[in-house]
């Protein structure tokens, strides 16, 4: 017997609505119109059925808050884009395409203003038809707009799409505005800006002139903007006395082309005094001229609000002025300082006697020797750089209690000075100034190989007797593997006795030393002499009553056969030793801290 075919109840319903009997009372001339009306109702019901079906899928069962987070995460990964083709240009909607997945997703996207005002809109990559959606859905919130005209074809106002985006009604909505273009295009863009008093929502501004041989003048419409909190000006003549450098600024980034148009000393003095809310300052090739001779010198004093200053001056011609600037900057005591200064050979060499004098005078202040409330706890010293991390006095004393800090940890104040080494050997060697560094409270010390050799050849190890609180000593990873053989110089120094000048009594370095970090490489057979020095270090320090408790090594050296024996005497900790030249063995990046409590920390915390 053949199986009976089941009939869908929906088929029965359709038959009952579309059959001849159902249409018997409809005039013949209206029957087709009636059937079309019935079809529209069926199609509408089918849409409703699909919507109800989609609501039962797992993406639609997620809470709206979770979907919003997913969409926010998606925005920077899938931005709208413009594509050039032979026939013209096309646009892709990017993350906004999620509005076409289902009605629920569309309702969420349209109903959340933050999805429309938080992302950065690179306006030349967004089709103009989205402008009404962006303006209306963001409500009255300020927009984050980017006008990036780098590597684009044609003029910035050559077509209606670009002109539409650059209308005053849109630009006055900007809370953040980033412009990057060649001089001619940037001037045209600036001319489209509304008057400054109509851009009251603008708080963050970035202006980058690209492909410029000389620093151009900033357009007047930009100079007049006031009330900004963040400002980035690159490759432009800095308008030192314009409203754009307003007292409300908290973040300021200024860059010029290789020192063109050096500001006067008084320009920088005035800037420092006027920016009463400033927290972050970055200056690139912005180095003031030396102060003119006068009866009373004007120091460069920054506001107590300043938390970091970063001065980058690779221009060789500015070397001498950069040294003087370094010596004149006066910042709050908890302010992070980073200076990058060129030290070059002839014909551009600065006065080495001037540089030497400035470093001897200011390294004590730079290393917190003159601050009774901050102790220098961490010192990285290479032949061309010095990094010091200071912490409020009265911190824990053992290595396990006091892990090596992140340089972004707010508990620490970082001072960093590096010289651009344009010739070898470098005219300045930082080990020469070790006697001026505050060492009394130092807990962590890292040296590079050239500095270790300098300390040995200059017989300067006794200088480190002052660092009696050191818990960790490490070697900065060298650029060449053969240089690791010179680690033995440090290991010999750690087991020897040293006497200060004029004193008969000798002492051992770092009597509280607990951890030693060595940048060893994979091939154990190449380090037979160094292996003997490591064994001698462990046994000699034990006999001296100041034993090493832990040896930190790179993961690549973790398979050395000698560790099975050495673990009897101390802990062997393989870590992801930093590969960057002169990077500290205890700080892996600005957010990662080495934890000496871990038995095997291949993924450091």
Q: DSSP secondary structure string, 41-57?
A: HHHHHHHHHHHHHHTTS
**What is residue 594's three-state secondary structure?**
coil
CA distance 192 to 152: 19
The arithmetic mean of pLDDT across residues 33-44, rounded, is: 81
Take residue 367 and report the two structure tokens written for it. Answer: 């290393």
Take residue 26 and report the two structure tokens written for it. Answer: 């409809």
Check if the beta carbon of residue 595 is closer than 8 Å to that of residue 562.
Answer: no
pLDDT number for residue 422: 57
- Which residues, in sequence order, are CB contacts of 431 under 8 Å at separation 6+? 381, 383, 451, 454, 455, 458, 460
CA distance 318 to 321: 5
pLDDT number for residue 597: 36
Please report which helix (H) or strand (E) contains residue 8, including its range.
none
- Which residues, in sequence order, are CB contacts of 371 under 8 Å at separation 6+? 333, 390
**Residue 48: is it exposed, middle or buried by C-beta count within 10 angstroms (0-12/13-18/19+)?**
exposed
Distances (CA, A) of 118 to 71, 91, 112, 271: 12, 21, 11, 31
pLDDT number for residue 344: 59
Say which residue the tokens 């009594």 belong to: 505
Assign 3-state DSSP to the chain and report helix, strand, coil percentages, each to 5: 35, 20, 45
Check if the beta carbon of residue 390 is closer than 8 Å to that of residue 466.
Answer: no
pLDDT number for residue 511: 94
Q: Is the pLDDT of residue 592 over 70?
A: no
The arithmetic mean of pLDDT across residues 2-20, rounded, is: 68
pLDDT number for residue 10: 74
Distances (CA, A) of 443 to 60, 459, 470: 55, 22, 4
Q: Report the share of the chain in percent with pLDDT over 70.
A: 87
Q: Which of 62-71, 116-125, 342-351, 479-488 has the lowest mean pLDDT?
A: 342-351
CA distance 442 to 517: 16
pLDDT number for residue 429: 84
CA distance 72 to 95: 9
pLDDT number for residue 551: 95
Take residue 239 and report the two structure tokens written for it. Answer: 């308008």
Give the confidence band of 595 by pLDDT, cuts at 50, 70, 90. very low
Q: Which of 126-130, 178-182, 352-356, 397-401 has the lowest mean pLDDT?
A: 397-401
pLDDT number for residue 601: 35
Q: Is the pLDDT of residue 352 over 80?
A: no
DSSP 263: P
301 upstream amide cis, omega within 30 of 0:
no
Q: Is the pLDDT of residue 76 over 50?
A: yes
**What is residue 174's three-state secondary structure?**
strand
Residue-wise pLDDT tens digits, 376-407: 889 999 988 999 998 887 665 555 555 555 66
Q: Is the pLDDT of residue 73 over 50?
A: yes
Q: Which of 152-161, 224-233, 451-460 has the lowest mean pLDDT?
A: 152-161
pLDDT number for residue 18: 75
Hey, how many other C-beta atoms are within 10 angstroms of the C-beta on 178? 18
The larger pLDDT score, comparing residue 53 to residue 307, is at 307
Give the confidence band of 502 by pLDDT, cuts at 50, 70, 90. low
pLDDT number for residue 599: 32
- The residues spanned by each domain of the chain are 374-605
Q: Is the pLDDT of residue 149 over 60?
A: yes
pTM of the model: 0.82
Residue-wise pLDDT tens digits, 283-307: 999 999 988 877 788 889 999 999 9
pLDDT number for residue 588: 47
Return the closest-CA partner of residue 332 out of 291, 374, 386, 283: 374
Q: Is the pLDDT of residue 2 over 50?
A: no
pLDDT number for residue 510: 95
Check if the beta carbon of residue 377 is closer than 8 Å to that of residue 395.
Answer: yes
Distances (CA, A) of 597 to 541, 555, 568, 573, 584: 21, 17, 17, 10, 18
CA distance 356 to 511: 32
CA angle 546, 549, 555 (to 5 degrees): 140
Say which residue the tokens 């290393």 belong to: 367
Q: Is the pLDDT of residue 591 over 70?
A: no
Q: Is the pLDDT of residue 205 over 60?
A: yes
pLDDT number for residue 110: 93
First to last CA, the chain: 73
Q: Which of 45-54, 314-323, 463-472, 523-532 has the lowest mean pLDDT?
A: 45-54
Check if the beta carbon of residue 385 is closer than 8 Å to that of residue 374.
Answer: no
Range of 117-126, 500-509, 576-585 with top mean pLDDT: 117-126
pLDDT number for residue 600: 28
The arithmetic mean of pLDDT across residues 586-590, rounded, is: 53
């Amino acid at each position: 017997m053949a199986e009976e075919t089941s009939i869908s109840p929906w088929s029965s319903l359709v038959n009952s609505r579309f059959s001849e009997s159902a249409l018997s009372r409809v005039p013949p001339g209206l029957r087709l119109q009636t059937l079309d009306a019935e079809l529209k109702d069926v199609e509408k019901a089918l849409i409703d059925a699909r919507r109800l079906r989609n609501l039962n899928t797992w993406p639609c069962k997620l809470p709206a808050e979770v979907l919003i987070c997913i969409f926010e995460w998606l925005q920077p990964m899938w931005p709208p884009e413009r594509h050039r083709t032979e026939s013209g240009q096309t646009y892709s909607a990017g993350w906004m395409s999620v509005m076409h997945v289902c009605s629920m997703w569309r309702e969420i996207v349209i109903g959340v203003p933050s999805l429309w005002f938080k992302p950065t809109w690179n306006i030349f990559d967004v089709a103009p038809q989205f402008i009404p959606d962006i303006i209306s859905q963001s409500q009255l919130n300020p927009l984050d707009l980017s006008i990036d005209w780098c590597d684009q074809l044609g003029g910035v106002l050559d077509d209606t799409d670009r002109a539409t985006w650059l209308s005053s009604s849109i630009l006055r909505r900007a809370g953040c505005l980033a412009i990057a273009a060649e001089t001619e295009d940037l001037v045209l863009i600036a001319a489209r800006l509304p008057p400054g008093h109509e851009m009251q929502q603008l708080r963050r501004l970035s202006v980058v002139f690209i492909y410029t041989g000389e620093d151009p003048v900033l357009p007047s419409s930009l100079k007049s903007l006031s009330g900004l909190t963040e400002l980035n000006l690159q490759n432009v003549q800095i308008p030192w006395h314009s409203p754009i450098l307003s007292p409300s600024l908290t973040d300021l980034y200024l860059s010029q082309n290789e020192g063109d148009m050096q500001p006067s000393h008084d320009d920088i003095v005035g800037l420092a005094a006027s920016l009463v809310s400033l927290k972050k300052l970055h200056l690139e090739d912005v180095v003031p001229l030396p102060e003119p001779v006068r009866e009373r010198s004007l120091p460069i004093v920054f506001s107590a609000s300043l938390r970091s200053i970063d001065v980058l001056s690779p221009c060789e011609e500015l070397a001498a002025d950069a040294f003087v600037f370094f010596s004149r900057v006066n910042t709050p005591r908890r302010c992070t300082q980073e200076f990058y200064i060129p030290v070059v050979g002839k014909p551009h060499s600065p006065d080495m006697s001037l540089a030497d004098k400035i470093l001897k005078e200011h390294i004590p202040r730079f290393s917190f020797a003159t601050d009774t409330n901050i102790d220098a706890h961490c010192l990285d010293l290479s032949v061309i750089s010095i990094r010091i991390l200071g912490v409020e006095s009265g911190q824990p004393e053992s290595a396990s209690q006091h892990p090596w800090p992140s340089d972004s940890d707010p508990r620490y104040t970082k001072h960093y000075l590096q010289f651009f080494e344009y010739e070898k050997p470098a005219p300045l060697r930082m080990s020469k100034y070790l006697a001026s560094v505050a060492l009394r409270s130092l807990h962590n010390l890292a040296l590079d190989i050239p500095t270790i050799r300098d300390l040995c050849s200059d017989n300067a190890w006794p200088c480190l007797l002052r660092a009696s609180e050191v818990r960790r000593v490490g070697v900065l990873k060298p650029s060449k593997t053969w240089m690791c053989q010179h680690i033995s110089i440090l290991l010999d120094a750690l087991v020897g006795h040293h006497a200060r000048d004029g004193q008969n009594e000798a002492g051992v370095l770092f009597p509280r030393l607990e951890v030693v970090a060595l940048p060893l490489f994979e091939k154990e057979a190449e380090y037979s002499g160094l292996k003997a020095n490591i064994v001698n270090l462990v046994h000699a320090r034990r006999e001296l009553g100041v034993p090493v408790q832990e040896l930190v090594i790179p993961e690549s050296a973790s398979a050395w056969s000698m560790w099975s024996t050495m673990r009897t005497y101390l802990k062997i900790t393989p870590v992801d030793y930093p590969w960057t030249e002169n990077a500290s063995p205890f700080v892996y990046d600005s957010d990662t801290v080495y934890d000496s409590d871990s038995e095997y920390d291949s993924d450091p915390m």
